[in-house]
Chains A and B, each alone.
Chain A
Amino acid sequence: MRAMPASRQLTLAGLAALLVLVSLVVVGLGPIHMTTGEAASSVARLLTGHGHDSGSDLLIAAVRAPRVLTAVLVGAALGIAGAAMQTVFHNPLAEPGITGVSSGAAVAAVLLIVTGGARIPGVLPLGAFLGAMAVAGFIQVFSLSAPGRSSAPLLLVGIALNALLGAVVSAVITNAPQAEQARSALFWLNGDLTGRSMDDVRMATPPIVIGVLALAWHTRELNLLSLGDATAQTSGLDVRACTRRIIAAAALATAGGVAVTGIISFVGLVIPHIVRLIWGGDHRFVMPASALLAAIFLVIADTIARMAFSPVSVQTGTVTALVGAPFLLALVLRDGGVRQ
């Protein structure tokens, strides 16, 4: 394939610039309002280590910047992982948690919330991450022993695991000794960025960065996989090993995100579709563009969640679902129309 056209490279640069701009605008929004220029100055002071003890600098450093950074990281992880999963499984309805990774995190998180372990600082995200990675490990072991080269058995295992772990989550919540614990568990399951700190950012960064970079490394292979497993294999790609690597990288990125925000739905499903609809299916573009656009989307969705319904605070996951569900419905209806 030829080098990516300059127009596409410019589009990626434009999306990156838009992400920075949106983040700066959003950092200034809130009950204590700042202009984008003031927010940019404040962020610049903080980045260069010259932050003041003024209210605005403290507010940005302790509250708004961690929240926006978390949204950027998690959005990018979900966007790029969703794009990869849709191609690996040849399924337009695949999303980052399709292999059961998010459900693994959910079981661990809900158990920690209900048993009270989540009260210890840092335990909830760490436990959720480990829960997700346990499922990712199971998928890897299964893929080593699964017959054939197709990714279809892994998809079925993911569906089964999601159903099984979903049942465990429901059972744990239903039998929670206190109603408040059940409410907290449901809150986590819906995904939210309220109160995220730099500790969360620090925890999420390594798995997300490693996972995203590993996925970005496989853009050429994803292009080949999009032609079908048989064509990819006979073109020189070890489909089975490559699929395993991509699923592991997507699981790592997703686990890093889910651990600090809970399950944020639809971002990883919808954004890659939008990218493909507008710009086509070259994964050298689709992967970074999905990461950038998903990050922008999540930053905006989180801002809507915390501001649009004030004084009532709506969860970030609720907003992404409110936008994403109609899109998914339209997608299904459109595909159904095509088949007819």
Chain B
Amino acid sequence: MSTRKSGRGTGAWRAARRRPLVEIGTAALSLHEVRAGYGRHPVIAGLDLDVEPGLVHGIIGPNGAGKSTLLKACLGLIPSRGQLLVHGHELVTLSAVQRAWLMSYLPQDLTTTSTLTGEEYVHMGRYARRPRFGQLNTADEEAVNRALDMTGCREWASRPLAQASGGERQLIALARALAQDAAILMLDEPASALDLGHELSVLRLLHPWVAGGDRPRTAVLVLHDLTWAARFCDRLHLLVNGRLIASGKPAEVLTTGTLRAAYGIATAITTVAATGTLDVTPL
């Protein structure tokens, strides 16, 4: 699979930055024997995982299982060992701009000292696609407007981010990640600061987003609510102590046995008549 690097300082660079810098491979993410963590303590130890493109994937598991660490390792935010392919490309061979074409990220920690407005914040999602002195083109404007509309942020996007509530900040950060228009959207607890209505809105936009691109799109999100996970994810990956103990469709992963092994609790798993999806109730 070829990797096209940008030639800095050349006339072609400005135009090249508007085109995809990397080819899209078959598997969105492919991990083999991946180890990652902080300092000398690996949080993820020898993880194998294939993330099929065109689907919404949920990473679930108890606290400290390594869910956020897995996302950070895939994004290259923390060092990792083993083989980590992003759409067929070795992560370590990709430049920061190329990674941004392939993956966008909504971090869990949204502490920021920025005094930019919400709209300015979302515009920053187009950084990897714009030459230094290039103005926003139609595609940039459309991506930003689409992201603001999808997240319902347009009304207050002109306000400084510092004046936004935690939930508004989470929505605007999601809008920035969407505006980046990467092949894989990585969301670390995307609804942790949201009320029930906004939580539902955010999770509902994932499938339309995945289906909406002109190239394969994939969403990978970390979440704790197993009923939401069953309803909005096509595939679930259950992590415990840095290891994958179950992976597949929600009905295959969410069983009383796997949940007892992962969380140490008994659960009742039923089907919700209104949605036809699973409901997980701790007993």
Q: Please give the residue numbers on chain A whose beta carbons come within 8 Å of chain B beta carbons, in ascending order.
A: 1-3, 86-87, 90-92, 148-149, 220, 223-224, 226-228, 230-231, 233-239, 276, 280-282
Contacts of B107 on A, CB cut-off 8 Å? Answer: 228, 230-231
A239 to chain B, nearest CB (A): 8
Interface string of B169-192 (1 = CB under 8 A from A): 000010010001000001000000
Interface string of B86-128 (1 = CB under 8 A from A): 0000000001110111011101011111111100110111011
**B77–A281 contact, CB under 8 A?**
no
Contacts of B117 on A, CB cut-off 8 Å? Answer: 280
B87 to chain A, nearest CB (A): 15
**B115–A234 contact, CB under 8 A?**
no
- A/B interface sample: 7 pairs, CB < 8 A: A2-B136, A224-B124, A227-B116, A233-B76, A236-B96, A236-B127, A281-B116
5 nearest CB pairs, A to B: A281-B115, A236-B128, A236-B100, A234-B105, A226-B114
Q: Please give the residue numbers on chain B whose beta carbons come within 8 Å of chain A beta carbons, in ascending order.
A: 72, 75-78, 95-97, 99-101, 103-105, 107, 109-117, 120-121, 123-125, 127-128, 132, 135-136, 160, 173, 176, 180, 186
Partner of A234 from the list B99, B120, B123 (CB cut-off 8 Å) is: B99
Contacts of B72 on A, CB cut-off 8 Å? Answer: 230
A10 to chain B, nearest CB (A): 19
**A234–B77 contact, CB under 8 A?**
yes
CB nearest to B110 among chain A residues? A228
How far apart are the CA atoms of A149 and B186 in the complex, in Å? 19
CB nearest to A228 among chain B residues? B112
**A280–B123 contact, CB under 8 A?**
no
How far apart are the CA atoms of A223 and B123 in the complex, in Å? 11
CB nearest to B76 among chain A residues? A233
Contacts of A223 on B, CB cut-off 8 Å? Answer: 116, 120, 124
Partner of A1 from the list B97, B104, B112, B123 (CB cut-off 8 Å) is: B123
A47 to chain B, nearest CB (A): 32
How far apart are the CA atoms of A237 and B124 in the complex, in Å? 11
